[in-house]
Structure 1
Amino acid sequence: MTPRSMTIGPRGPLYGVVRVPGDKSISHRALMFAALAVGESRVTGLLEGEDVLATAAALRAMGASIERIAPGEWVIHGVGVGGLLQPGQALDMGNSGTSTRLLMGLVASHPIQATFVGDASLSRRPMARVIEPLSRMGADITAAPGGTLPLTVRGMCPAVPIEYTLPVASAQVKSAVLLAGLNTPGVTRVIEPVATRDHSERMLRGLGAELTVEETSGGRMIALTGEAELKPQHIVVPGDPSSAAFWTVAAIITQGSRLWLENVGMNPTRAGIFRALGLMGADMVLHDRGTVGGEPVAQVTVMNDNLAAIDLPAEIVPSMIDEFPILFVAAAFAHGTSMLRGLEELRFKESDRIGTMATALAAIGAQVEELPDGLVIHGSSGRPLPGGVTVETRLDHRIAMAMAVAALNCEAPIVLDDASPVATSYPDFFTTLDQLTEEGRAINEAYA
């Protein structure tokens, strides 16, 4: 990925209709589960960012036939559970932690060996939380010092079913264990004390896996019967709520803006950002609710508005773990002081998102206090921040997009030192920004 700096400044109101790209989490899983079905599956609305393309390339290297037939339209001919082949070379995961952790689970119960490599950012991210349960199931895993990439997984077949309680809330770890359990005889159980995104459970049941979910005294127990036979399906991917969150906040903080966001995924384990913005008083309406591919969706209408500070309830945190960079931006322009805590997991994302956002927001003039588990942000009461600086995105797509949104309400433009990571999840982000601001200018001129 070639570094690319970009200057973003105030542009006036945003106006128009946005159809955000397909959900990244669901796109990864759609490719993986379809690759394990026997026969032809079709995926509509697939996110075609670099992270998802890394998943597709890895699955092809292990025997699946995956073909793009039109924008967002893909056909997959799966190899069946247990049918993965030995890849001929290392699997390059680029910047995708989701690809890496979930594919480690796939390999762990197959009689093959795979080496995972990635870019500088991914190679710093911890994999020990996945290594531990997969090793219990019998996989032999060798990692770099500190439990990072490069990393080699030697699968065990048959693997050993386990009952595993997640020490921290992590949909990636849960999904990795369930993926390993697909080719493991017996019942694999995962217990999560705090519920995390449930895309894997929904999709596995839709493809015919024998999977149950039960609330117990220890938390939510997911039980999967192994040696599963997955049936091919037509999988429709809803719009990514993480991507929609950037436009939602952009409209809220930019004077005169009004946006209509279509087909936004509203899975309750993912929609925490909309709950949080609602608590802050955002002028936002969710309507035309429905279901796409077994996932709840809604249309979102959002307008420029004044936000109140928030003391974020702890129960919302797991349902918006990827949206905190843009919530930090919203808090920077709110009235009052926001307390955003219980976010230790953000230290281990593509970057240290607590430290990186604290530094970036302070650089553009926000008043921020960094805590070990979050941020205290003193809002500007809607007033523009000074801006006029270069901020470091630290190879993190969500930092880059969040700070691009913040720049829309700054007095002077800011420079993103590297905007190229945005391609991992939202290749058309800056093109869409141009279109929405051009539409906003046209509306203003028409009514001037």
Structure 2
Amino acid sequence: MLRGTFELIGDKSISHRSIMFSAISKGNNKVSNFLMGQDCLSTVSCFRKMGVDIEIAGKDVFIKGNGIRGLKPPTDILDVGNSGTTIRLIMGILAGNDFESTLIGDESIGKRPMKRVTDPLRMMGCDITGKDDANFTPITVRGGHLHSIDYKMPVASAQVKSAIILASLYADGQSIIREKVKSRNHTEIMLKAFGADIKENGLDIIVNPVDELFNQDIYVPGDISSAAFIIVGALISEGSEVLIKNVGLNETRTGIIDVIKNMNGNIEIIDERVVGGEKVGDLLVRYSKDLTATTIDKTIIPRLIDEIPVIAVLATQAEGTTIIKDAQELKVKESNRIKTVVDNLKKMGADIEELEDGMIIKGKTKLHGATIETFKDHRIAMSFSIADLISDSRVMLDDTNCINISFPGYFNLLKDLTK
């Protein structure tokens, strides 16, 4: 069982953005509760290479902004490591800066599609070249004068949307980004605080160019995507009760809470408040023996795409048939998460079927131990560490180092909570 109270590490999405937007602002910025995971440190490294003074002290980061047009040509190739957020958002900034830079990443990044970003940036006038017509790394960006754009998003992606928003700050007129479904909106919230001229009209985001952004102090709330693993662990492990403090509750990210409530899970939000424009609260989660199946589709997928692997583990302990569909985006994450989840849960005895765009899970099922192939995917590794809590024998992960990408100290926390 899991029991205890703890404060969560900083949100990964907000940590990335806090560095990027501070770097192109004017003045001194402080970021508190920054996530010191490998992905976010890749963002720090990239901006240091472009002449930004960034100092780290404990969980705080101090950034001396260079101004919106003050970045320097990079001293080296910009290596984003495993971070899709870093490469996609930084391309939006690089598109508006008058120098050449080359982006690379690890093996996983080398397989992830980038034309969803490079195509609209090219429409805005940016010169971008790379492997397979700039769909894969290495990618070279020659930035400079950008035109405004009126762009209909083909996929619901906060990373793509954010890249276009950032490029629009440098454009020669008003840009409009039109979403099909609302994706996470941390970029819009934070850039407004920095002084950007951004308005929202339904699913349309209207961005006007700016001469400058201005420094901000930022508190990074706890990462609900990281909390998801402990939440599911508490729901399925008999006798569990955990209180998770200071969790970010941005409505574009709380799909997992809605799903848990639909599944009859015992989760409660306490002391909800607003910090720096973002909703924050404490989550009280208790063991739930009467979980029921649910259907997860396109109406909610963008609000929980990263949590689906651990939701699949949860579904094995729910009575009935859970259907997850419209989740094709899972195929182009750090691994093909549809196949990876289905194959590994089958090894553990789950009744699960792979779909082209998701999976079907029949519960309730007793899970047994197995050796899990993680494909160095941090969310796969953590999901199956949670499955280990209820399996009848040990679950062995073929890689655990990948967890440091998003959740350094994860196993120490899990050990502290395990009773």
Q: Deviations over 1:70-120 (max 9, x none)?
A: x22111001111111110211111100000000011101110111111111
1:250-329 equivalences under 5 Å are 250-306=233-289, 307-329=291-313
Structure 2's unaligned 5+ residue stretches are none
The answer to whether the 8 Å contact 1:185/1:227 transfers is no
- In structure 2, the residue matched to 1:5 is none
- In structure 1, the residue matched to 2:338 is 354
The answer to whether the 8 Å contact 1:209/1:228 transfers is no
Letter in 1 for 2:296: L
- In structure 2, the residue matched to 1:376 is 360
Following superposition, the deviation at residue 18 of structure 1 comes to 2.1
Letter in 1 for 2:170: N
Letter in 1 for 2:22: A
Structure 1's unaligned 5+ residue stretches are 1-12, 441-448
Q: Secondary structure at the match of 1:410?
A: coil
From 372, 375, 379, give the equivalent of 1:394.
375
The answer to whether the 8 Å contact 2:197/2:210 transfers is no
- In structure 1, the residue matched to 2:220 is 237
Q: Secondary structure at the match of 2:44?
A: helix
The answer to whether the 8 Å contact 2:244/2:284 transfers is yes
Q: Secondary structure at the match of 1:142?
A: strand
> Taking CA–CA contacts closer than 8 Å with sequence separation of 6 or more, which of the two structures ends up with the larger relative contact order?
1
1:98 aligns with 2:98: no
Q: Equivalents in 2 of 1:185, 1:160: separation in Å?
A: 5
Question: More displaced, 143-152 or 236-245?
Answer: 143-152
From 403, 421, 437, give the equivalent of 2:384.
403
- In structure 2, the residue matched to 1:3 is none
1:90-129 equivalences under 5 Å are 90-129=77-116
- In structure 1, the residue matched to 2:231 is 248
Q: Secondary structure at the match of 1:346?
A: helix
Q: Deviations over 1:396-427 (max 9, x none)?
A: 10000001001110001011001111000001
Q: Structure 1 residue runs of 4+, over 3 Å off? A: none
Q: Equivalents in 1 of 2:161, 2:297: separation in Å?
A: 24
Letter in 2 for 1:115: T
Letter in 1 for 2:174: V
From 180, 197, 202, give the equivalent of 1:210.
197
From 187, 192, 199, give the equivalent of 1:200.
187
1:171 aligns with 2:143: no
Letter in 2 for 1:105: G
- In structure 1, the residue matched to 2:132 is 145
Q: Equivalents in 1 of 2:294, 2:396: separation in Å?
A: 28
Letter in 2 for 1:428: G
Q: Equivalents in 2 of 1:66, 1:99: separation in Å?
A: 16
- In structure 2, the residue matched to 1:445 is none
The answer to whether the 8 Å contact 2:198/2:206 transfers is yes
Q: Secondary structure at the match of 1:106?
A: helix
Q: Deviations over 1:307-347 (max 9, x none)?
A: 11112253111111111111011001111110111101111
Q: Secondary structure at the match of 2:396?
A: strand
Quote the RMSD (CA, aligned, Å).
1.0
- In structure 2, the residue matched to 1:434 is 415
Number of residues of Structure 1 aligned to a counterpart in Structure 2: 417
Following superposition, the deviation at residue 227 of structure 1 comes to 3.1
- In structure 1, the residue matched to 2:167 is 180
1:385 aligns with 2:372: no
- In structure 1, the residue matched to 2:5 is 17
The answer to whether the 8 Å contact 1:210/1:228 transfers is no
